[in-house]
């Protein structure tokens, strides 16, 4: 089987590439000229340099592909236009190109819980929850889903929605661990927030299950942990894995918004996306980012295998072994 992976140089995409190779797939990755190939070096992967905005190029790349895993996307943007180009236009281009594939068995789109939006009260969202995204990123992922669904009569598409993902190679979670290693735990989330998390290998299993299942065509699935966590659960798991005592520093929302304003202003001058902005704060301060995986369990046979504490320990050990911590 031949699989095409976009975003194969990134955190999630590189783990997907590793697992596909382990399962005997021939893997092809589209990369930009500026991409860092460190997670693909020394692996039996066909590297194809080109742009997701070039439909003619994409047609040649997908012509003999069995599975397209579209993992690439924009998670940081200066404005909605950045997110739209990186998440919606690229998805549409790859879908249009896939119409010219002679072998395509499944087009797997990596979406996000953000495409749906936060849950209400303490009830996890599921695949029947209407779209109500609250950020530019979430809105762009919702639009990408709608574009993919508009092709479902022409292509065997499936959409996978993860919540927050953690594991080796993840730079976002690493920042949290780095502060804790210094003995500081910034507290920015609401104390009563509930959320879902997924360890990267579990997510990759979900992607491949969705791709290989005949039942999944035209459908959407959340892939996550079975458990719904609180920030306290996550804090305990991290501190046990690090065996560290910390000073908890609560950062009120007004301070966060002030810092984000300064960051956005500076980044705007240099034409860059701010790592912290008002939308990001709005996102992390929601009280319910939990989702149900019952549909994936029922229809795909998906099972969450890596418990939170084990996942945190594996992640931290990798950071230490690779000199990140």
CATH classification at residue 12: 3.40.50.720
Q: What would the DSSP string read from start to end of 121-183?
A: TTPPB-TTSPP---SHHHHHHHHHHHHHHTTTTTS-EEEEE--EEESTT-HHHHHHHHHHHTT
Are 162 and 113 a contacting pair, CB within 8 Å?
A: yes
Please tell me the predicted confidence (pLDDT) of residue 90: 98
Domain assignment present for residue 67? The answer is yes
Please tell me the predicted confidence (pLDDT) of residue 47: 97
Structure confidence by residue, pLDDT tens digits, 152-203: 999 999 999 999 999 999 988 888 888 787 887 777 767 788 999 999 999 9
Catalytic residue among 137, 166, 199, 302: 137
Q: What angle is formed at CA 137 by the lines to CA 136 and CA 139, rounded to 5 degrees?
A: 65
Please tell me the predicted confidence (pLDDT) of residue 301: 97
Please provide residue 291's backbone torsions phi and psi, each rounded to the nearest 5 degrees.
-135, 155
Averaged over successive runs of 10 residues, the pLDDT of the chain (325 residues) comes to 97 98 98 93 96 97 96 92 97 97 95 97 95 97 98 97 97 82 75 92 98 97 95 86 78 72 76 76 89 98 96 93 91
Domain assignment present for residue 320? The answer is no
Please tell me the predicted confidence (pLDDT) of residue 232: 85
Q: How far apart are the first and last CA of the chain?
A: 38
| Per-residue tokens: 124 | 């996890």
Number of domains into which the chain is organized: 1
Domain assignment present for residue 101? The answer is yes
Please tell me the predicted confidence (pLDDT) of residue 280: 82
Of the candidates 120, 95, 129, the one whose C-alpha atom is nearest the C-alpha of residue 109 is 95
Domain assignment present for residue 127? The answer is yes
The range of the structural domain enclosing residue 59 comes to 2-167+196-226+288-305
Please tell me the predicted confidence (pLDDT) of residue 27: 98
3-class SS of residue 105: coil
174 noted as active-site residue: no
Domain assignment present for residue 212? The answer is yes
Domain assignment present for residue 126? The answer is yes
Domain assignment present for residue 68? The answer is yes
3-class SS of residue 243: coil
pTM over cut 0.75: yes
* Residue 243 CA, distance from chain mean position: 28
CA distance 180 to 109: 34
């Amino acid at each position: 089987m031949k699989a095409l992976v976009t975003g194969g140089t990134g955190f999630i995409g590189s783990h997907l590439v590793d697992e596909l190779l382990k399962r005997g797939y021939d893997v092809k990755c589209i990369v930009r000229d500026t991409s860092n190939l460190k997670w693909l070096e020394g692996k039996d992967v066909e590297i194809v340099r080109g742009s997701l905005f070039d439909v003619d190029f994409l047609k040649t790349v997908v012509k003999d592909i069995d599975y397209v895993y579209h993992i690439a996307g924009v998670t940081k943007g200066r404005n909605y236009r950045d997110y739209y180009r990186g998440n919606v236009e690229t998805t549409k281009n790859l879908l249009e190109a896939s119409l010219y594939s002679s072998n395509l068995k499944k087009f797997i789109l990596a979406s996000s819980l953000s495409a749906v939006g936060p849950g209400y009260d303490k009830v996890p969202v599921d695949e029947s929850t209407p779209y109500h995204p609250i950020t530019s990123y979430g809105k762009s992922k919702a639009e990408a889903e709608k574009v993919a669904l508009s092709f479902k009569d022409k292509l065997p598409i499936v959409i996978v929605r993860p919540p927050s993902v953690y594991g080796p190679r993840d730079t976002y979670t690493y920042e949290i661990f780095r502060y804790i290693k210094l003995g500081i735990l910034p507290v920015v989330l609401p104390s009563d927030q509930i959320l879902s998390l997924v360890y990267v290998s579990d997510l990759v299993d979900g992607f491949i299950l969705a791709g290989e299942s005949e039942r999944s065509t035209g459908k959407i699935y959340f892939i996550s942990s079975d458990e719904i966590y609180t920030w306290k659960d996550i804090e305990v798991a991290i501190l046990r894995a690090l065996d560290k005592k910390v000073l908890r520093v609560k950062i009120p929302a007004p301070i966060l918004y002030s810092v984000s304003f300064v960051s956005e202003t500076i980044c705007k001058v240099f034409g860059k996306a701010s790592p912290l902005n008002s939308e990001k704060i709005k996102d992390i301060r929601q009280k319910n980012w939990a989702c149900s995986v019952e549909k994936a369990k029922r229809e795909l046979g998906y099972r969450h295998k890596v418990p939170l504490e084990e996942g945190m320990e594996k992640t931290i050990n990798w950071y230490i072994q690779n000199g990140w911590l």
